[in-house]
Structure 1
Amino acid sequence: MNKKQIFTRSAIAVAMLASAPQAFAAGFQINAQSATGIGRAFAGDAVIADNASVMARNPAAMALFDEKAFSIGFETITSMIEVSDARYNYVDKTFTPKSASIADNDDVGGTSVAPNIHFIMPINEKFAVGVNAYSNFGTKTEFADDYTATEYGGLTDVKSFNFGIAGSYRLNEQWSFGAGLDLIYGQGTMKRVANSNLPLIGGKPLLDVDSADGFAVGFNVGTVFELDENNRFGLAYRYSPEFEAKDDKGQKITLPLPDIAEFSGFHKLENTKFAVHYSIQYIGWSKFDQIDFENLQDSVLTGPYQKPYEWQDGWHYAIGGTYYLNSDWTLRAGYMYDTSAQDQLTSISVPDSDRQWFSAGFTYHLDPKSNIDFGFTYLMGQKVSVSESTSVNAPVGPGGSVVPVNISGVTATTQANAILMGLQYSRSF
């Protein structure tokens, strides 16, 4: 590894503070921008603008700040993934059909940390600029080496970190607009070994891509419309590029990331201490049709290899409330329904389902200029029936001709729940 690679990976490691967060939204999207967002299931987050983290959801919302704002925090993600009722069907080295049950597995998940930092600086009454860094995609599942269906378990570790710069412009008292650029650093590791009992490929590595990394560039745009100081709407769109990463052996992963659009509203009820807020978010997961692998080495898979996923577009529907108790305390809660990205094709290595978020949090104001936020979410997923299969070309056709042979398959039930907690410090000056 050369000095440039060492520096790059060391800098990213310091910035990320921890290994990849386990996915806790549909697909492998993670909402790790703020503790306040976790405390209200991210309802209204593209327009509330109660701290600098709003620029991660909508750059136009920076126009709502009349002084510099800074936020720094982290989220912990504890995932609880169960794989049960699994059955492994395969053909042995004599191409004789076999079947075996697999013990239930409830230790596929783990706990990870995702940091974030945001800074907004108004230049004048019209313009503001901001910079931030946070994680927005990530998943990690790791099965034991002795897991029976090794070609479906193994290690899947995909993560990204977003470095953003953005600007906003206030057109008039009602309309504001914003845009930003995203420099995305990503890293992926995927390891699969064929079960030793399988013909032709038994005991051999199928995939062994280790810490492939790279950079890509995306962008985001948004607008805010203010009816008055207590009622406003936000609309934002984020373009995510197709991401390419290479490891030290020159093996390459091509990973398509989804575009995201979000509409949010915020309404503080007149003559009360209560506000209601909501969001609808679209995630273009149909873009994630497959992962491409190239230049594979030390693998029985030669040439380019494609792992199909064929996901469907996802939606988040969130509603929340904020209660401004007094000058010291602000309380919040929220609920989100999060639709699955998986459609006809399912996977035990990236379990997914429709999910429900139950969230609560608070802000404690240290003084008029600074505060601490805490957020908590329990994320509950549904049980999903999973079915996967593997085929290889084998000389078993008429006259010894080579034909595709389905040599193994796995069926199981998966369920992924999670506990999210966030802590954040914010200050204006």
Structure 2
Amino acid sequence: MNTTFSRTLLATSTLFISATSMAGGFQVNEHSATGLGRAFAGEAVIADNASVLSRNAAAMTMFDKDAISVGMTVVKPDVSVKDSTYYGLNGNIDISNSLLKPIPEISGTQTPVYLEDIDGVAPTAVVPNFYYIHPINEKFAVGVAAYSNFGTGTEFESDYAAPIFGGKTSVQSMNLGLSLAYRANEHLSFGGGLDVIYGVGDLYRDINADMHGNIDITIPFKPGIHESGDITGQINALDVHATGVGFGANIGMVYEVNEGNRFGLSYKYSPEIEAKGDVKYLAASQQSDKIYLPLPDIAEFSGFHMITDKTAIHYSIQWIGWSAFDTIETEYDTIKEYHWKDSYHYAIGATHYLNNKWILRTGYMYDQTPVDELTSISIPDSDRQWFSAGFTYNWSSNTAIDFGFTYLIGEDVEVNERMEESLSIPSITATTHADAILAAIQLSHSF
């Protein structure tokens, strides 16, 4: 993978990041229906059901009965790419792996192709979750959780005129966690746990080419392409199926001032994922290729305050360490630079305990994007606003059904993307925009 051309074909579609998610970068926030209904404000400390495990293990000490929560969130994105101009490969190309010529030489005309506006490139997704908390005694509690912190997906039509920047991406990840909490006294609790993150990704990219002359793509110690002549039409540039496992950890604390006022603080360490699988690019098939993906750490501070006997306000500030997502590397070389920046989201919400049967909630979140100067049509990320509402129906004293709804509004982003920064083509300019509707349902039971 040492030729610049081959590396950059792979990099344009790097595993786990090449599409829109409904939080900054490729973070998944959708951990529960109760959280969605309040825009995840106060999520690290409210502890109204077992889903608090996704944010703060220390909050398990607030449960005096076994508790279980299971649910799912349906995410319906509306992602559009408009005002697009594509500059493809049209001319002479000489690609080799010699020390004297590490970068492809391309000559010829750069004829712009004006593309039609498109939307619906991100399919509807379902994000499931499961949580269980078991209080051992008045001091200790344990819990298990299954949910997702990272994942995304887009799919452009097969006849899209700039397939090297579009194509298909399908990524799913699951976080499996085991946690322990300890109550130090009536005010202070601590918690922590270990996480196993498993991910599966499928990627496909083509490239439109009209290339003439010497075409020489050499990969040391591995099969490659060596031919002279012409390549015309659409050829497969990338076909990947890969899986990866990483191990993370989390710690947290809860400080209960009194029954109606409390604060929570949590920190998640995220690992670097080593993804392995079948990689095919430009007719050279590689088995068990490795891609290393650094994931961001996440810290959150939350507060909860009863302002009347029936109404509470709550808030959260979350920091996501996206500056760790600097480069993507293989076992041989760096294949792509991203230079993302750390980001934050700020959420505020309110809960009204209407009566013994009904609980109403609402919230607002401002979610920053980590994408800095290097923009892409396959990562149509922007600052976003979340407008949320939801409710709980207490079926009985031990069983509750939760619903949550969010309308998410993004911003227009001007994109000027190249397959390789040192090359003028292929390239694309466009304006991207991403909105979404999210709806969730959840069943919680204590026993």
**Do 1:224 and 1:235's aligned partners in 2 also have CA atoms closer than 8 Å?**
yes
Question: Could you tell me which amino acid in structure 2 is paired with residue 47 of structure 1?
Answer: V
Q: How does 1:42-121 map to 2 (within 5 A)?
A: 42-94=40-92, 95-121=108-134
Q: How does 1:400-419 map to 2 (within 5 A)?
A: 405-419=423-437
Secondary structure at 2:350's aligned position in 1? strand
Cα shift at 1:21: 10
**Do 1:90 and 1:198's aligned partners in 2 also have CA atoms closer than 8 Å?**
no
Give 1:268's match in structure 2, choosing from 277, 302, 306.
306
**Do 2:77 and 2:120's aligned partners in 1 also have CA atoms closer than 8 Å?**
no
Query: Which residues of structure 1 form unaligned runs of 5+?
Result: 1-19, 295-302, 393-403
Q: How big is each residue's C-alpha offset from its partner over 1:376-427, in whole Å with a ceiling of 9 and x where there is no partner?
A: 00110001001111249xxxxxxxxxxx643221000000111111100001
Cα shift at 1:251: 2.2
Residue in 1 that maps onto 2:209: 196
Q: How does 1:18-417 map to 2 (within 5 A)?
A: 23-94=21-92, 95-197=108-210, 200=215, 203-210=234-241, 212-248=242-278, 249-270=287-308, 272-293=309-330, 304=333, 306-391=335-420, 405-417=423-435
Cα shift at 1:269: 1.4
Residue in 2 that maps onto 1:12: none
Which has the higher mean CA deviation after the structures are superposed, 91-100 or 106-115?
91-100
Residue in 2 that maps onto 1:398: none
| TM-score scaled by length of structure 1 | 0.87
Residue in 1 that maps onto 2:4: none
| Identity fraction in percent | 55
Give the distance between the partners of 1:58 and 1:83, measured in 2 at CA: 38
The alignment status of 1:428 with 2:426, answered yes or no, reads: no
**Do 2:245 and 2:275's aligned partners in 1 also have CA atoms closer than 8 Å?**
yes
| TM-score scaled by length of structure 2 | 0.84
Give the distance between the partners of 1:84 and 1:21, measured in 2 at CA: 16
Give the distance between the partners of 2:207 and 2:302, measured in 1 at CA: 47
Query: Which residues of structure 2 form unaligned runs of 5+?
Result: 1-17, 93-107, 216-230, 279-286
Are the structure 2 counterparts of residues 424 and 405 from structure 1 closer, same or farther at C-alpha, using a change threshold of 3 Å?
closer
Q: How big is each residue's C-alpha offset from its partner over 1:179-213, in whole Å with a ceiling of 9 and x where there is no partner?
A: 01001101122322221235657644332212x00
Q: CA RMSD in A?
A: 1.8
Give the distance between the partners of 2:44 and 2:206, measured in 1 at CA: 43
Q: How big is each residue's C-alpha offset from its partner over 1:238-277, in whole Å with a ceiling of 9 and x where there is no partner?
A: 000010111143122221111000000000114x310000
Give the distance between the partners of 1:97 and 1:30, measured in 2 at CA: 39
Give the distance between the partners of 1:387 and 1:290, measured in 2 at CA: 19
The one of the two structures with greater contact order (alpha-carbon pairs below 8 A, sep at least 6) is: 2
Q: How big is each residue's C-alpha offset from its partner over 1:334-392, in whole Å with a ceiling of 9 and x where there is no partner?
A: 00000011000011112100000000000000111110000000110001001111249
Give the distance between the partners of 2:199 and 2:236, measured in 1 at CA: 24
Cα shift at 1:22: 5.9
Q: How big is each residue's C-alpha offset from its partner over 1:209-232, in whole Å with a ceiling of 9 and x where there is no partner?
A: 12x002110000000001001000
Cα shift at 1:62: 0.4
Q: How big is each residue's C-alpha offset from its partner over 1:110-167, in whole Å with a ceiling of 9 and x where there is no partner?
A: 2111110100000011000000101111111111121111111112233310000000
Give the distance between the partners of 2:28 and 2:362, measured in 1 at CA: 19
Give the distance between the partners of 2:383 and 2:20, measured in 1 at CA: 16
Are the structure 2 counterparts of residues 204 and 141 from structure 1 closer, same or farther at C-alpha, using a change threshold of 3 Å?
same
Q: How big is each residue's C-alpha offset from its partner over 1:59-95, in whole Å with a ceiling of 9 and x where there is no partner?
A: 0000111111110111101011000001112451242
Give the distance between the partners of 1:215 and 1:97, measured in 2 at CA: 42
